[in-house]
Amino acid sequence: MYTVIKRMEISAAHRLQLSYPSKCQQLHGHNWIITVYCRARELNQDGMVTDFTHIKQLVQDTLDHRNLNDILSFNPTAENIARWLCDRIEHCYRVDVQESEGNTAIYEKED
């Protein structure tokens, strides 16, 4: 089994839609750290699990320096963002989304 891990930092804003009062309902930003984990039993024709550049393009071209509420059709929590990315990246099985030093959400596909 081959595994590749891509770690990136992006800047993006969001506001959360919550069932309770919270300052996170106001528009605010983070310097997000996103870590993508991909694996495959066999390498592709280029000798890769997936190209690091393709991962970076999806994450940065879609999310970096954006208001996430304007581009995502769901409540942009770290948990939801992690799953959304995992579902769109080839061979991805796990995504960590860190929105601040002490706050990280992880989505991992079940086998």
The answer to whether 91 is annotated as binding is no
Residue 92 a catalytic site member: no
Query: In terms of DSSP H, where are the helices of 10-109?
Result: 52-63, 68-71, 78-88
Compute the distance between CA of residue 11 and CA of residue 8 in angstroms, rounded to an integer. Answer: 10
The answer to whether 28 is annotated as binding is yes
Residue 101 a catalytic site member: no
Q: Write down the catalytic residue from 65, 86, 91, 92.
A: 65
**At 92, which helix (H) or strand (E)?**
strand 92-100
Q: Write down the catalytic residue from 38, 91, 92, 99.
A: 99
Residue 99 a catalytic site member: yes
Query: In terms of DSSP H, where are the helices of 1-111?
Result: 52-63, 68-71, 78-88
Compute the distance between CA of residue 19 and CA of residue 32 in angstroms, rounded to an integer. Answer: 24
CB 105 within 8 A of CB 78: yes
Binding site members? 14, 28, 30
Tell me which residues are annotated as active site. Answer: 24, 65, 99
Binding site members for Zn(2+)? 14, 28, 30
